[in-house]
Structure 1
Amino acid sequence: MAGDLLYRSARWVLRAVLVRYFRVRAYGIDRIPASGPVLLAINHLSMLDPLLIGVVVPRPVHFMAKEELFRYPVLGQLLPKVHAFPVRRGEADREAIHQALRRLQEGQVVGVFPEGTRSQDGRLLEIQGGTALLALKSGAPILPIAITGTERAMPRGAYWPRRVRVEIRVGKLIYPETSPCQHAGRDRIHSTSRRLAEELGALLEQAHVALGPGSG
Structure 2
Amino acid sequence: MNLYPLGRTICNFILFPIYQFKVIGKENVPADGGVLLCCNHINNFDPEVIGITSPRPIHFMAKEELFSVPILGKILPHINAFPVKRGFSDRGALRKGLDVLNAGNVLGLFPEGTRSKTGELGKGLAGAGFFALRSNAHIVPCAIIGPYKPFKRLKVVYGKPISMDEYRQNKASAEQVTEVIMNEIKQLILAHK
Q: With the length of structure 2 as denominator, give the TM-score of the two structures.
A: 0.92
Does the Cα contact within 8 Å between 1:45 and 1:119 map onto a contact in 2?
yes
What's the counterpart of residue 147 of structure 1?
144
Amino acid at match of 1:103: V
Write the deviation string for residues 103-162 of structure 1: whole angstroms up to 9, x where unpaired.
Answer: 111111000110111101111100111011011111212111000225x44xxxxxxxx4
Task: State the one-letter code of the partner of 1:196.
Answer: I
- In the alignment, structure 2 segments of 5+ residues that lack a partner are none
Kindly report which structure 2 residues correspond to 1:50-69, keeping only aligned pairs within 5 A, or say none.
50-69=47-66
Partner of 1:169: 157
- 1:190 aligns to what? 175
Q: Which has the larger radius of gyration?
A: 1
SS at match of 2:165: coil
- Any unmatched runs of 5+ in structure 1? 154-161, 209-216
The yes-or-no answer on 1:128 pairing with 2:116 is: no
Q: State how far apart, in whole Å, the 2-side matches of 1:65 and 1:54 are.
A: 14
1:81-96 alignment runs, 5 A limit: 81-96=78-93
Q: Which has the higher contact order (CA 8 A, sep 6+)?
A: 2
TM-score by length of 1: 0.83
Query: How much is the aligned-residue C-alpha RMSD, in angstroms?
Result: 2.0
Partners of 2:122 and 2:83 in 1: CA distance: 21
Identity over aligned pairs, percent: 38
Runs of 4+ in 1 over 4 A off after TM superposition: 182-185
* Separation of aligned partners in 2, 1:164 and 1:204: 17
Among candidates 3, 9, 14, match of residue 11 of structure 2: 14
Which moves more between the two structures, 167-176 or 74-83?
Answer: 167-176
Paired residues, what number?
193
Compared with structure 1, are the counterparts of its residues 184 and 163 closer, same or farther at alpha carbon in structure 2 (3 Å cutoff)? farther
Q: Once the two structures are superposed, what CA deviation does each residue of 1:138-194 show, in whole Å capped at 9, x if it has no partner?
A: 1212111000225x44xxxxxxxx444211011111132379xx8996x33233122
* Residue 206, structure 1, aligned to residue 191, structure 2: yes
